[in-house]
Amino acid sequence: MYLPAWTYRIRHTHFPQKLMQDGRGKKMKFSTDHFLYGGDYNPEQWLSTPEILEEDIILMKQAHVNAVTLGVFAWSALEPSNDEYHFEWLERIIDRLYENGISVILATPSGARPKWLAQRWPEVLRTDAFRRRALYGGRHNHCYSSPVYRKKTAQIDRLLAQRFGRHPAVILWHVSNEFGGECHCALCQQSFREWLQARYGTISRLNEAWYTLFWSHIYDSFDDVESPSPLGEEHLMGLNLDWKRFVTERTGDFLAHEIHALREGGARQPVTTNFMYDYAGLDYQKLSDLVDIVSWDAYPLWHSAPDARIAAECALQHDRMRSIRKGPFLLMESALSSTNWQPVSRLKRPGLLQAQGLQALAHGSDSILYFQMRQSRGASEKLHSALIGHSGTGDTRVFYEAAQTGLALQQLRELCGTQAPAHAAVFYDTQNRWALEGSEGPRNAGIYYRETVQKCYNALRRLGLNVDVLDQTQPLEGYHIVAAPMLYQLRGDIVERLCEFVERGGSLLCTALTGVTDDSDLCFLGATPYGMTELLGLQRTEVDALYDGESNTLVRQAADTTDFAPVYRCSRLCELIKLSSAKPLLVYGEDFYRGTPAATINQYGRGFAFYLSADAEDSCFNDLLRFIALRAQLPIRFPQGLPEGLELTERIGPQGSYIFLQNFSNASQPVPTLPAAQFFWGTRGPKNVDLLSPFDTAIFKLPASEAFDENNKGVSVL
């Protein structure tokens, strides 16, 4: 009898609960009654010129800055040599900021270690997959398993907490910076083996989960296991997946270690750490329980493609961060204009600085924070844009736009803390991504998981819907529609929960490569999609991978319907499926499987399950998800779809509903009719609100009596 991997786990490892709690034994909540505005500030670079520090405060106040992040890269200034601490300069600056109405997000400095630490204890440096110890340098170059590194970070964290843990200026702790990367040193290898032993219990269970009989790669002992390496084993998918899970566990354990040190030092403020844009190296869902509020850094490649497309991609990432904890988040970093590290450092076009920030607000952020407040004079990020450039004045386009944005946040204060509820959700699952992108076949030339998720997301958003972005472990209650594209890896009880969701009346969309493997990347035996053949009313028989440049067509089954176009293009992946109870909506138009089903509908209980077996073009996803939403009787403002580049997002609070309309296209767009809604705020004020120029924002308000619909659990109807 075949058993999926989760059935023979003896126990799972978890982050220590005591490290997830504050000193009084319960989680903290970060909340603010005003939007935070400001960003990363590095005054340690200017200690020899105190007049610049005073000028900075004057200019920041002119830009309506009310919060800055300090200490991210300040370890060498705080501890210039082992056990020699200099906190006086930091205290002076915190005091001056507080006197001027500027709050502080105080960082622990572990994100960039000092040179003396690496010289004295080389073990703190990382070892790469080729087993080479790194030289000192860079930023992400420290081993989370190193006892020395843990001791030294805990030491400085405790001292910072003792000094500033009750300072009225400090509102939040920023733990380390942009966690990422991995270490393959002997310490990490041993920790990995211990983690595996805790996960599997016996080596025979590990061998079974990793299918090590293949190529005669059976392990005799946990001591034999090495992390994946180009010099050794790279083709055991179970090993690769477990290594990635372990890297998340190591990172989370280090994060918890730092939080614990802050609490030991007496810090009573909430904590966060900054996640990154579409970063696949860590499973952020696993780390989220350690922090009191989710925060992240958004650096999309504006102007590298049509801005409407970039905006949609950034919107998905905002919603992903909001959905992790189902509440407001913080935009911890973004660029005021150009960066220094992207392939091409294009200036943000006029108006985009404000539009990108307000997009974050629309999707649930309670902050707009930037990197950096004053432009560095030298080293890596000297050409990264800043509020205060090398000229040292406020007489710049960027400063003016930033000041206008700061003023806007003051005017929008009543929106702070409001929610952005969604009744449609899309799965974007990090561990599923690891498995899909790490699989050898069916298409090593690119599987396009992220792009498929984006198509589902865009299709729902163009209907004017808020959308949550989930991983497969999160609850499904409260949603009308769930899109689970390319759910290749099934973990835990996801099959049972999807069946229950549809049976109770939900609408589910699955796509090609659903239900192929378990959480060790072992293929399910029997009919697939595994455990979902009755739910979907079909089973997969074959998968055809197409070369780049090849395509097929999808043809509507009913010629007289207006729900679908006569024909769509598809590429890359075409599954062959056999129907049981499902009914075809689209069929293939070409190749030997011409006329066979490609998109289907199946009633299951009180709901419907849909399947799209090919990698179809955007318009197919748009029409299919509109069809699904209409059948689900979900209140939809724009059944025909919003124009390209026009985004509608909603935040809801006690005083009503706030509807953001933003134009990310390169042409002016007419403002669609919003019955019962009143103009609340706009880029160009209350005049000419019938037309949105590129990068304009208009916000409309519905009173609370109009904004809530009991039958739809809070979704607003217009």
Q: Where are the domains of the chain?
A: 29-181+238-410, 424-631, 646-712
CA pair distance 397, 351, nearest whole angstrom: 10
Give bridge partners of residue 702 from the DSSP assignment.
657
| Portion of the chain with pLDDT greater than 70, in percent | 94
The torsion of the CA quartet 511, 516, 519, 524, rounded to 10 degrees, works out to 150
Q: Are strands 552-556 and 567-579 parallel, antiparallel or unpaired?
A: antiparallel
Segment 527-543 shows an average pLDDT of 99
Segment 179-199 shows an average pLDDT of 98
DSSP class of residue 550 equals -
Cα 167 to chain centroid distance, Å, stands at 31
- Residue among 178, 182, 258, 575 flagged as catalytic: 178
- Pair 228, 282: CB distance under 8 Å: no
Residue at 341: amino acid letter: W
Q: Does the pLDDT value for residue 18 go beyond 60?
A: no
Burial class (CB in 10 A: 0-12, 13-18, 19+), 341: exposed
Q: How confident is the model at residue 710, as a pLDDT?
A: 35
CA pair distance 466, 363, nearest whole angstrom: 8
Q: How confident is the model at residue 27, as a pLDDT?
A: 74
Give bridge partners of residue 173 from the DSSP assignment.
106, 271
Q: How confident is the model at residue 707, as a pLDDT?
A: 61
CA pair distance 88, 78, nearest whole angstrom: 9
From 585, 546, 583, 552, select the one nearest 568 (Cα to Cα).
552
Q: Which alpha helices (H) appear in 165-296, and where do they start and end? A: 186-200, 203-210, 237-264, 284-287
Cα 606 to chain centroid distance, Å, stands at 33
* pLDDT-derived band at 686, boundaries 50, 70, 90: confident
CA pair distance 545, 572, nearest whole angstrom: 6
Q: Does the pLDDT value for residue 709 go beyond 80?
A: no
- Pair 641, 627: CB distance under 8 Å: no
∠ CA 256-261-267, rounded to 5° = 105
Q: How confident is the model at residue 45, as a pLDDT?
A: 97
Q: Does the pLDDT value for residue 279 go beyond 70?
A: yes
- Pair 682, 697: CB distance under 8 Å: yes
Cα separations in angstroms, 564 against 285, 286, 455, 510, 637: 36, 40, 17, 18, 19
Q: Report residue 262: phi and psi, to 5°.
A: -60, -45
Residue at 335: amino acid letter: A
185 annotated among ligand-binding-site residues: yes
96 annotated among ligand-binding-site residues: no
**Cβ atoms < 10 Å from Cβ of 98:** 15
∠ CA 647-360-678, rounded to 5° = 55
In the 3-class helix/strand/coil scheme, how is 434-497 assigned residue by residue?
Answer: HHHHHCCCCCCCCCCHHHHHHHHHHHHHCCCCCEEEECCCCCCCCCCEEEECCCCECCCCHHHH
Q: Does the pLDDT value for residue 636 go beyond 80?
A: yes
Q: Does the pLDDT value for residue 425 go beyond 50?
A: yes
**Cβ atoms < 10 Å from Cβ of 371:** 24
End-to-end CA distance of the chain: give it in Å, rounded. Answer: 54
177 annotated among ligand-binding-site residues: yes
* pLDDT-derived band at 478, boundaries 50, 70, 90: very high
Segment 607-633 shows an average pLDDT of 98
Let me know if domain 646-712 sits in CATH 2.60.40.
yes
Q: How confident is the model at residue 6, as a pLDDT?
A: 31
Q: Are strands 607-612 and 597-604 parallel, antiparallel or unpaired?
A: antiparallel
pTM for this prediction: 0.95
Q: How confident is the model at residue 26, as a pLDDT?
A: 59
Q: Are strands 567-579 and 614-616 parallel, antiparallel or unpaired?
A: antiparallel
Mean pLDDT over each residue of the chain, to the nearest integer: 94
333 catalytic? Reply is yes
Q: How confident is the model at residue 689, as a pLDDT?
A: 80
Q: Does the pLDDT value for residue 281 go beyond 50?
A: yes
DSSP class of residue 595 equals T
Segment 85-90 shows an average pLDDT of 98
397 annotated among ligand-binding-site residues: no
Segment 477-498 shows an average pLDDT of 98
Q: Does the pLDDT value for residue 19 go beyond 90?
A: no
CA pair distance 649, 461, nearest whole angstrom: 8
**Cβ atoms < 10 Å from Cβ of 548:** 9
Fold classification of 29-181+238-410 is TIM Barrel (3.20.20)
Q: Does the pLDDT value for residue 20 go beyond 70?
A: no
**What architecture does CATH give domain 424-631?**
3-Layer(aba) Sandwich (3.40)
123 catalytic? Reply is no
Task: Specify the residue for token string 């009143």.
Answer: 678
**Cβ atoms < 10 Å from Cβ of 321:** 25
Q: Does the pLDDT value for residue 197 go beyond 60?
A: yes
* pLDDT-derived band at 140, boundaries 50, 70, 90: confident
Q: How confident is the model at residue 563, as a pLDDT?
A: 94
Q: How confident is the model at residue 704, as a pLDDT?
A: 81
Report residue 376 as tokens.
């560095």
Q: Does the pLDDT value for residue 587 go beyond 90?
A: yes
Cα 362 to chain centroid distance, Å, stands at 16
Give bridge partners of residue 298 from the DSSP assignment.
334
CA dihedral over 13, 14, 15, 21, signed as positive or negative: negative
CA pair distance 158, 173, nearest whole angstrom: 12
341 annotated among ligand-binding-site residues: yes
Cα 586 to chain centroid distance, Å, stands at 33
Q: How confident is the model at residue 715, as a pLDDT?
A: 33
CA pair distance 550, 144, nearest whole angstrom: 46
| Portion of the chain with pLDDT greater than 90, in percent | 91
Q: Does the pLDDT value for residue 444 go beyond 90?
A: yes
- Pair 325, 275: CB distance under 8 Å: no
CA pair distance 402, 63, nearest whole angstrom: 6
Q: Does the pLDDT value for residue 254 go beyond 60?
A: yes
Q: Does the pLDDT value for residue 160 go beyond 80?
A: yes
Strand segments (E) across 299-403: 330-334, 367-371
- Residue among 333, 401, 647, 650 flagged as catalytic: 333
From 610, 546, 611, select the one nearest 577 (Cα to Cα).
611
For the stretch 89-105, pLDDT in tens is 999 999 999 999 999 99
Find all residues with CB under 8 Å of 23, minimum gap 6, and list them. Answer: 263, 266, 268
Find all residues with CB under 8 Å of 219, minimum gap 6, and list them. Answer: 203, 206, 207, 212, 225
* pLDDT-derived band at 560, boundaries 50, 70, 90: confident
